[in-house]
Chains A and B, each alone.
Chain A
Amino acid sequence: MTHSEMDELYELYLLGALEFEQASEIAGHVNRQCAYCLARLKESSRVIESLPSLIELKQPPPELRARVLAIAKPPRKTSSWPPAFALACAASLALAFWGIGQQKRLDELNRQRNELRSALAILSEADTKTVSFGQAETEPQGRVFISHNGGVVFLGNRLPRLASGKTYEFWLVPAKGTPQPGGLFKTNAQGIAVNVLAKSVNPADYAAVAVSVEPVGGSPQPTSKPILIVPLG
């Protein structure tokens, strides 16, 4: 598309009403810091930003204020740990939070411990490749660690809340062929999720990894549009 062809699409892009191909093309311009697109998006945002003013206001229950204010806690000291170790600890914490309160059985804790060991092994492999995703402030964000020898660790934040009866499923997406299932996971209360796939995975065999929402128990193939596709190239 030329810029003049895009002129009528910027507001639709901000609304999220464009089809994938058109939205991807504009997103590409934005990622390349295209000055024309950024200026037009800023202009277009005035219309979209005005829409909430049309909503009929509803008062939240008074107790919600106390729930929100309970979020604020004293500041914590910034970690000076090396990034890989800090990430490993984040993975450990996420795994611990993930299970606590939901599964108290010893076998579940053992499973988590084994998963944590696998994650640490993958993070410490010499050939581990790291891919970051989610640059926009309101999108899911995180990293994928992939090692030929160790496997794959997916660490995500800001994933949408799951409805009951649903789970996230991780997929390895080959350049040709159907996605391969790579594990089921959920987020913890903080919206952090970890999935560890401990098996030999050659990054060259896969074009991307993806995450979709599936019924509890998972699916052999994605049954919904992936909420996340992370190219590995």
Chain B
Amino acid sequence: MHPEDKASDALLIAKLKERDPGALSAAYDRYGTLTFSLIVRITRDSSVAEDLVQEVFLRLWNRIQDFDETRGSLSVWVLAIARNMAIDYIRSSHARFTARTKPLDQTDFAPISYKPNEADNTLDNSRTVKEAFTSLNPNQRKVLELAYFEGYSQSEIALRLEEPLGTVKSWMRSALTRLRTAIQEGRAK
């Protein structure tokens, strides 16, 4: 995160803690699109995503006093809430037996996009990560997507892909290693 983003985040957090409605508006303008996009990607349902975005910002508004800046940025916190809510939703909904049982290549939404997007300003290393992601093989991408967007454990992924658990672990490990290396090299530049 750039220093100016950090300063801007710190101000936003302070205003949220003061219960300044303008701060909620600023937070939505900063993170609303990314939050909505993440939830749509996970739930594959725009109307559900609208409801969940509202719940994410309700939680941000009500729980901001608990937010500890030393443990991460505001964007990471907001997106962690959004991801958890979306995965909880698909785990508890009948969607698991409908949309989520479609093969990955038949879903309404493409897998992770490689296009540049507006999120570049809010998250570190996005270009580096995108480049690293495109360099992964299809199996490495698939296991990473199933873990991040579907919330599956490695053994669940192995069942879903009908592959040995050891193979899935190997794909996951190599995918994460490649992303980690790319980020470390990007930070060293």
- The answer on a CB contact under 8 Å between B153 and A75 is no
Q: Give a binary string over A28-68; 1 marks a CB under 8 Å from any B CB, 0 the rest.
A: 00000000000000001111111111111111110011011
In chain B, what residue has the closest Cβ to A159? B88
Per the bound structure, the CA–CA distance linking A75 and B17 in Å amounts to 10
List which B98-131 residues lie within 8 A (CB) of chain A.
109-110, 112-115, 117-120, 123-126, 129-130
Select which of A46, A55, A64, A68 is within 8 A of B34 by beta carbon. A55
CB distance from A213 to the nearest CB of B (A): 5
| A68-B88 contact, Cβ under 8 Å, with A18-B154, A53-B126, A55-B38 | no
Select which of B93, B114, B123, B152 is within 8 A of A50 by beta carbon. B123
- The interface size of chain B toward A, counting residues with CB under 8 Å, comes to 79
Interface residue B160 (Cβ < 8 Å from any Cβ of A)? no
Interface of B is mostly: helix
Per the bound structure, the CA–CA distance linking A19 and B147 in Å amounts to 12
- The answer on a CB contact under 8 Å between A49 and B72 is yes
| A160-B53 contact, Cβ under 8 Å, with A51-B148, A55-B41 | no
- The answer on a CB contact under 8 Å between B172 and A68 is no
Interface residue A107 (Cβ < 8 Å from any Cβ of B)? no
Per the bound structure, the CA–CA distance linking A19 and B172 in Å amounts to 14
- The answer on a CB contact under 8 Å between B94 and A165 is yes
- The interface size of chain A toward B, counting residues with CB under 8 Å, comes to 49
Select which of B40, B63, B123 is within 8 A of A53 by beta carbon. B123
- The answer on a CB contact under 8 Å between B92 and A65 is no
| A58-B110 contact, Cβ under 8 Å, with A53-B129, A71-B58 | no
- The answer on a CB contact under 8 Å between A50 and B36 is no
CB distance from B162 to the nearest CB of A (A): 18
Interface residue B5 (Cβ < 8 Å from any Cβ of A)? no
Q: Name 29 interchain pairs, CB-CB below 8 A, sorted by A.
A: A15-B147, A15-B148, A45-B76, A46-B180, A47-B176, A47-B180, A47-B183, A51-B129, A51-B148, A52-B119, A53-B120, A54-B126, A54-B129, A55-B119, A56-B37, A56-B109, A57-B117, A58-B33, A65-B28, A68-B28, A69-B25, A72-B19, A72-B25, A74-B19, A137-B67, A137-B68, A160-B85, A161-B51, A213-B92
Apart from A56-B117, A137-B81, A190-B58: 16 A-B pairs, beta carbons within 8 A: A16-B153, A17-B172, A45-B76, A46-B124, A46-B125, A49-B79, A52-B38, A54-B126, A55-B41, A55-B112, A55-B113, A56-B112, A56-B115, A57-B37, A72-B21, A163-B89
Spell out A's residues near B (CB within 8 Å): 8, 11-12, 15-19, 44-61, 64-65, 67-69, 71-72, 74-75, 137-138, 158, 160-166, 190-191, 213, 227
